[in-house]
Every structure is written in C-alpha cells, then in structure tokens.
Amino acid sequence: MTRTYPKLPEGIAAQLLSLEPSGGTYEPVYFPCAVTLKSGDQLPCVYICEATKWFQYWGVWPEDDSGKRSLDILQVARVAPSQFALPARFANKLYAEGESGMGYTIFTVVFKDGSTVPYGTGNAIDFVTYPEGKGASDVADVLPHAGRERNDFMICPKYSWCLYSV
C-alpha cells in the first residue's frame, strides 16, 4: 500500500544535518527533534523519517493508526534538538536490544550521579521525561529490559510522526 508524502524541504533537510539520528539495524533512520511550525506552534517531540522505510518497519501509516499522531512536513518551519531526546548512542543501544514484550519496551536510564529511572513505552524510545534538574547530558547509560519490577516508572512524552518522501 503506497502513500505519497511531500518531499523533504531543502531548508529542513539542512537543519536535520545538525541532529544525530537514531534507529537500529532493522528500524528506519529517525530524527527525533523539536519543531516549530509555520503557525508558530512548537512541538517538543517529533520524529522526522522517510516514509517508505518507516512503513516497511511499522506496517501501518501513522494517519491510519489511532495510537499514532502525524504531522505534515510542509507545516514545519524549523527543527532543533529536543530537550526530551535521549542521546542517540543510548537510543541506538535500546533499539539494538529490541522490544521487551509484544509492542512495548522497558528500560532504565542511569544518570551520572548514580540515580536510575525506569521507563515503559512503545517501540519508539527516543523521547523520555527527565527527572527535575536532569537532561540528556546527565545520562550515563541505559539498561535495556531493566526496571520491570519497579513501580516508579516515568511517563514518556507524547510524540508525532512527520514523514516525507524521497
């Protein structure tokens, strides 16, 4: 089933070069970022991804899945790093380990001060809600599939998919 999405605008493509993409061996290349829309609205958690590879992995277009939110790439004015994004090397470590169960992933983030926080989310794992006073630069490691026994899971922020055609 094919669907046509707009091509990636040159200005947005140039801005994506400043971001480190994530994705695993089997996943498409993801650009987790924050976007400013042409309307001036800001969205802190958006995945920008090439549509065909995205569909090959996910199997359903985001507009056809009630559990997903989508955004038109032509509405994007600017992209920037997201304050909620895990550093790509840690996201890639989680992608390499795969899902923890059918349709979900559990992992623990280890911070440089030794504290740990468990997260539970779907299979897109780049965005996390950091504890007060912590951010991406404080992450020391991630532990795939760890933290299931804990009851203090942090909630991962909602995100949107923004697909484009080549």
Domain range spanning residue 18?
10-84+158-164
Among candidates 121, 125, 12, 136, which has minimal Cα distance to 77? 12
1 in a domain, yes or no? no
Same domain? 32 vs 66 = yes
pLDDT in tens, 28-55: 999 999 999 999 999 999 999 999 999 9
Q: What is the pTM of this model?
A: 0.94
Q: How does pLDDT run across 93-139, given as a tens digit for each residue? A: 999 999 998 989 999 999 999 999 999 999 999 999 999 999 999 99
Cα separation, 109 vs 50, in Å, equals 28
Is the distance from CB of 163 to CB of 6 less than 8 angstroms?
no
Edge-to-edge order in the sheet of strand 105-111 = 116-121, 105-111, 139-144
| Domain assignment of residue 18, yes or no | yes
